[in-house]
Structure 1
Amino acid sequence: MPPKKPGLSEPELFRMLLTNMIDLRHPLVKLAGEIDWARFDTAWGKFYHEKKGRPGLPTRLMAGLHFLKHMEGLSDEEVCARWVENPYWQYFCGEEYFRHRLVLDRSSMSRWRGRIGPEALELLIAETLRVAMASGALNPQACERITVDTTVQTKAVAHPTDAHLLLRAMEHLNRLAKKHGLKLRQSFLRLGRETRREVARLIHGKGHKQAMRHLRKLRTWLGRLERDVGRKTEGNADLTEACARTLELAEKVRTQKPKDQNKVYALHAPEVECIAKGKARTRFEFGVKTSIAVTNDRAKGGQFILGMQALPGNPYDGHTLTGQIAQVERITGIAVSRAYADLGYRGHGHKGETEVYISRTRGITSPTIKRELRRRNAIEPIIGHTKMDGLLERNHLKGAAGDAINAILVAAGHNMRLLLAWLAALLCALLNPWLNPDPLPAR
């Protein structure tokens, strides 16, 4: 059923009103008053059935928790724990009275994200941009000129090595057999763990040939496990279907070669891709390519993120430009007149009305375009903030849909941090003349 719309309840004698506990001039309180929470109820009401099921959790509560989660770069467990302790966070999420217990289960956040989906969650970015324009932190004309770049949204996976993946495949098969009550001839877990340690000890030294022999043993044991599970499930259609995906991944891990394409780098996240970045400290990153678009001009409140999307399949940067411009125009409702990109976007083939300028392009005579092209590098620190302050560096959400959802929420969290700083600066500018009046002139 749709979430219950919040309304003023009857005053209670033994519960403390949040408005009596907090400073109503706090930037987070001001920001809560600027956001149009009813907009979310209207847009996301279609995801609930009118009569079936129990009433959903308040939309303001769920949207507010995700805003706070990505503002502070916290996990679901951490944001729920801090929500109980922080009266400002409870007020931001629409509570009237201070609550001593959490009103939801942590898993409700995961189910809510999956229900809404990445496309509908773009409304969170659109609302942060609307608030920025209304408060003066962002000029609407700044959305017409954007800077575009790509980065890697890394997944929360261990560094993939052959020995590690082979052992994980053996563990997954044993876990699957235990779940369905299959009695295996031999688990190979003790031997596999010992052999994995030997491979790690020998692979980078003089014992490389011996390490390769241990790897061949791991592959042999994994093949035995696969055949044993296949024999035990043969003739049972339900068991065969339940074990098919795990057996397929295990077989792929066992047979894949170093130069193969579409390799498996994590059993629990097979969508992870290996992306070469050319960095001296990190040659390869494991996750999904992500495109980001920010304002080219530095607004009063900082550079806001206008769009962000995950790009599975590791496409060429130039082929993603049209889709990124379309997302920015869909979120902001403003046509993009100029887009600035680095050399990786050469040969983009964009056929829209947007003018695209690439770094180091010669023959540009306009001083305005030259200045804005020099501003292209300013997107790099924004990417750094999304990884250090946000949750773009290690994504824990499941599957390709989790990658897309996390990218949207990271962008919304970055804009919320800028808005909070902007409102704090405005409040400080308003209060300073009153708190520190100019002294009387000396006679």
Structure 2
Amino acid sequence: MYRKRENQVLLPHEFFLPFGGKLNENNRWVKLTQLIPWDRVEEYYADLFKPASQGGQTAVSVRMALGSLIIQQRLGTSDRDTVQHITENPYLQYMIGLPEFQEDPPFDASLMTHFRKRLGPDVLNQVNEWIIQSDVQHKEDEDQVSDDDSDGGTTAGNQSTSSEPPAPVPRQGKLLLDATCAPADIAYPTDLSLLNEAREKLERIIDVLHSARDTGQRKPRTYREKARKAYLSLAKQRRVSPRVLRKAVGKQLRFVARDLRIIAMLRDEVGLSVLSRRQYRDLLVIHELYRQQAEMYRKRTRRIDDRIVSISQPHVRPMVRGKARSNVEFGAKVAISLVDGYARIEQLQWDSFNEGLTLEAAVEAYRERYGCYPEAVLADKLYRTRANLQYCRGLGIRLSGPKLGRPLKDEQASQKRIERQDAVERNAIEGKFGEGKRRYGLGLIRARLPETSASVIVMQLLVMNLERKLRLLFTLLSVVVISGFRRPLGADYAV
């Protein structure tokens, strides 16, 4: 159940401070709070709950939930540190909607996980769209005012009444497209380490199942000490030949297969209800992991569909990126568009996909948002497929990169100049990736579940867009303050 608040927006001077004084209206947290459309977010958020007439426990307000997640991503802190910062800082308490400063924590740190689950990617994407649209609407209002002034007071009677064909859809602005990987917080996976971890988890499951048997029965032999010794003898070596590594992997596979047979025997005897929820989930993942590793071992291959690289996070997939620093990354693949410095997620998947296939959907989404097609799409070579080139040519959109075929002599110089300019402008989306990975944690996603990890990724882009609006706001304020100190030209400086 969710109860709507009568007033989501609390003015800074209305926030009560028991030690006196008032909040600074120009503080960055106050300005950041004013950039978020809380009323629209609450209307959208309240529809996710059952009506208040049906009863139930009252949920935390959306301002407290969303505000806490924004604070966490902006500060780069853990759940517990985020609650501690909110408890110590009155500006952060103002952002989450508290009416006055309190010394007690506003909520338990464990609720942060529920906030990420409730405010999923769909909700956060909608909030991000509203934040960007507010800036776009402001620009459109300014353009409308300038157009009205340039008309010179034209009335409806002076307008032509002749019927004219509808004007074609205009093209305006530039759309930047690219994709990146948001690595998950997992250890670098190898076949040997994964099988060793699976074996250790199976041995603990066997201990739990054996303890549930009748007393006096002999415990099945698992050879855990022998298996551990065989693993460490290879893991401690700096260099291992492929032949020795294959032999060690085969040995660990046989240990895992033996443990699975023992668990199948104990399951028929005592059942699996004595296992915890996590152990039961690990058992299902290890069954699939063993199948994949056994198949790759038998076929002497390194590739398999939906390959598991982490038992704790089986949704994570390897992404072959071909980067200089790391050829393979492990995490979600994110296709992002950038317009006027504001980033949006066009597609987010845990399985690898060809980002070139997202161009048409991104262009159509651009038209729905701005009412026109972009005049140019700036992207790398992966987007320059024949289908995308034909699609852009049909709409009169210029796709960055050289034209197909041999260039004409007269157009070589101008074409190279356009390509250099496109490369310079496309650096903005690469810089956005760097900003997210170095400043906001996009380079290491610490959430465990797939839905919470997706929420964290979308939240990081939302915070980056808020930061851009905040920088523009403070730049405008500084310009106004500086211009206020300047005297007009030709003013009389005599006393």
TM-score of the alignment, normalized to the shorter chain, above 0.5: yes
* Structure 2 spans left out of the alignment, 5+ residues: 11-15, 144-169, 214-218
Deviation at 1:62, TM superposition (A): 0.9
Please identify the structure whose Cα radius of gyration is greater. Answer: 2
2:234 alignment partner, one of 157, 179, 199: 199
Q: Would the alpha carbon gap of residues 368 and 250 (structure 1) be closer, same or farther in structure 2, given more than 3 Å must change?
A: closer
Partner residue, 2:401: 359
Q: Would the alpha carbon gap of residues 334 and 98 (structure 1) be closer, same or farther in structure 2, given more than 3 Å must change?
A: farther
For 1:193-237, what per-residue CA distance to the aligned partner results, in whole angstroms no more than 9, with x for missing partners? 4433322223615x6655544333322211111111111113777
Deviation at 1:91, TM superposition (A): 1.2
Partner residue, 1:12: none
Partner residue, 1:29: 30
Q: What SS does the corresponding residue of 1:151 show, helix, strand or coil?
A: strand
Q: What SS does the corresponding residue of 1:153 show, helix, strand or coil?
A: strand
2:195 alignment partner, one of 150, 161, 166: 166
Whether 1:108 and 2:108 are equivalent positions in the alignment is no
Deviation at 1:66, TM superposition (A): 1.7
1:52-63 to structure 2, matched below 5 A, reads 52-63=55-66
Whether 1:391 and 2:441 are equivalent positions in the alignment is yes
Deviation at 1:276, TM superposition (A): 1.8
Partner residue, 1:48: 49
Q: Distance in 2 between matches of 1:358 and 1:429?
A: 35
1:20-419 to structure 2, matched below 5 A, reads 20-50=21-51, 51-133=54-136, 144-177=173-206, 185-186=220-221, 188-202=223-237, 204-205=239-240, 209-234=243-268, 239=273, 242=280, 245-252=284-291, 254-257=293-296, 258-262=301-305, 263-295=307-339, 299=340, 303-325=341-363, 332=369, 334-337=371-374, 338-347=376-385, 349-350=387-388, 351=391, 353=395, 355=397, 357-361=399-403, 371-372=421-422, 374-419=424-469
Q: Would the alpha carbon gap of residues 128 and 28 (structure 1) be closer, same or farther in structure 2, given more than 3 Å must change?
A: same
For 1:344-384, what per-residue CA distance to the aligned partner results, in whole angstroms no more than 9, with x for missing partners? 11226355858361423366879997645651233111111
Q: Distance in 1 between matches of 2:189 and 2:129?
A: 37
Deviation at 1:20, TM superposition (A): 3.3
Amino acid at match of 1:48: F
Contact 1:153/1:290, CA 8 A, preserved across alignment: yes
TM-score by length of 1: 0.83
Deviation at 1:424, TM superposition (A): 2.6
Deviation at 1:316, TM superposition (A): 1.4
For 1:394-437, what per-residue CA distance to the aligned partner results, in whole angstroms no more than 9, with x for missing partners? 11233443443233212101112212222232333333456798
Whether 1:420 and 2:467 are equivalent positions in the alignment is no
Amino acid at match of 1:415: N
Deviation at 1:289, TM superposition (A): 1.5
Q: What SS does the corresponding residue of 2:56 show, helix, strand or coil?
A: coil
Q: Distance in 2 between matches of 1:373 and 1:138?
A: 31
Q: What SS does the corresponding residue of 1:47 show, helix, strand or coil?
A: coil
Q: What SS does the corresponding residue of 1:234 show, helix, strand or coil?
A: helix
For 1:40-73, what per-residue CA distance to the aligned partner results, in whole angstroms no more than 9, with x for missing partners? 1111111111124211101011111122222333
Contact 1:6/1:58, CA 8 A, preserved across alignment: no
Contact 1:71/1:416, CA 8 A, preserved across alignment: no
Contact 1:172/1:246, CA 8 A, preserved across alignment: no
Q: Distance in 2 between matches of 1:143 and 1:74?
A: 40
Q: What SS does the corresponding residue of 1:378 show, helix, strand or coil?
A: helix
Q: Would the alpha carbon gap of residues 38 and 410 (structure 1) be closer, same or farther in structure 2, given more than 3 Å must change?
A: same
Amino acid at match of 1:199: L
Q: Distance in 2 between matches of 1:268 and 1:143?
A: 47
Q: What SS does the corresponding residue of 1:401 show, helix, strand or coil?
A: helix
Identity of aligned residues (%): 19
* Structure 1 spans left out of the alignment, 5+ residues: 10-14
Contact 1:148/1:291, CA 8 A, preserved across alignment: yes
Q: Would the alpha carbon gap of residues 285 and 82 (structure 1) be closer, same or farther in structure 2, given more than 3 Å must change?
A: same
Deviation at 1:387, TM superposition (A): 0.8
Amino acid at match of 1:346: R
Q: Distance in 2 between matches of 1:324 and 1:167?
A: 44
Q: Distance in 1 between matches of 2:464 and 2:431?
A: 12
For 1:47-104, what per-residue CA distance to the aligned partner results, in whole angstroms no more than 9, with x for missing partners? 1111242111010111111222223333333322222222211112212211222222
For 1:102-147, what per-residue CA distance to the aligned partner results, in whole angstroms no more than 9, with x for missing partners? 2222232222332343222212211321343467699999984210
Amino acid at match of 1:34: L
Amino acid at match of 2:94: Y
Amino acid at match of 1:5: R
Contact 1:133/1:139, CA 8 A, preserved across alignment: no
Q: Would the alpha carbon gap of residues 185 and 4 (structure 1) be closer, same or farther in structure 2, given more than 3 Å must change?
A: farther
Q: Distance in 1 between matches of 2:461 and 2:437?
A: 11
Amino acid at match of 1:248: H
Q: Which has the higher contact order (CA 8 A, sep 6+)?
A: 1
Partner residue, 2:165: none
